[in-house]
Amino acid sequence: MSVEIDETFLRVCAIGELSLGEPALAEIEGHRVCMVRTGEREVHAIDDTCSHANVSLSEGEVDGCTIECWLHGSRFSLLTGEPTGPPATRPVAVYPVRLDGDDVLVSVAHPTNES
């Protein structure tokens, strides 16, 4: 039996370092990533730059599984990266997240919805 190990996942933090519903900025291999914990063991990682205004999403507000850009109010799904409200029309990248015990691992090598 063989086990495939994806070494592109890197440890970002312990899950306890992320406050529920509060965005946090992580720098992962030159990528600015907005990390959001939405549940006891549920963490999302999206590109930190708003596709409309080129500002940091980690400075915005979280509402459920969406984040709102602080500058013009664009909202993005933490699940898909798709904009859920104007003025943004382009999605932001979503990065795969894994939990290994209490460690939060993210792969910036396999984003979805790259704009």
Which pLDDT score is estimated for 1? Answer: 43
For the four alpha carbons of 66, 90, 48 and 30, in that order, the dihedral sign comes to: positive
**CA–CA separation, 41 and 65 (whole Å):** 14
Cβ atoms of 31 and 106 within 8 Å: the answer is no
pLDDT tens digit at each of 115 positions of the chain: 433 457 899 999 999 999 999 999 999 999 999 999 999 999 999 999 999 999 999 999 999 999 999 999 999 999 999 999 899 999 999 999 999 999 999 999 989 976 5
Q: In this predicted model, what pLDDT tens digit does every residue of 30-44 receive, in sequence order?
A: 999 999 999 999 999
Which pLDDT score is estimated for 110? Answer: 87
3-state SS, residue 16: helix
Which pLDDT score is estimated for 68? Answer: 97
For the record, the structure tokens of 45 come out as 């990682």
Distance of CA 40 to the CA centre of its chain: 16
A 10 A CB-CB count for 101 gives 6
Which pLDDT score is estimated for 32? Answer: 98
Kindly tell me the burial class for residue 75, based on how many C-beta atoms sit within 10 Å of its own C-beta (0-12, 13-18, 19 or more).
middle
- Looking at CATH, the fold of the domain delimited by 10-106 is given as Rieske Iron-sulfur Protein (2.102.10)
Task: Render 49-112 in DSSP notation, one character per residue.
Answer: B-TTT--BGGGSEEETTEEE-TTT--EEETTT--EEETT--S---EE-EEEETTEEEE-TTS-B
Which pLDDT score is estimated for 84? Answer: 96
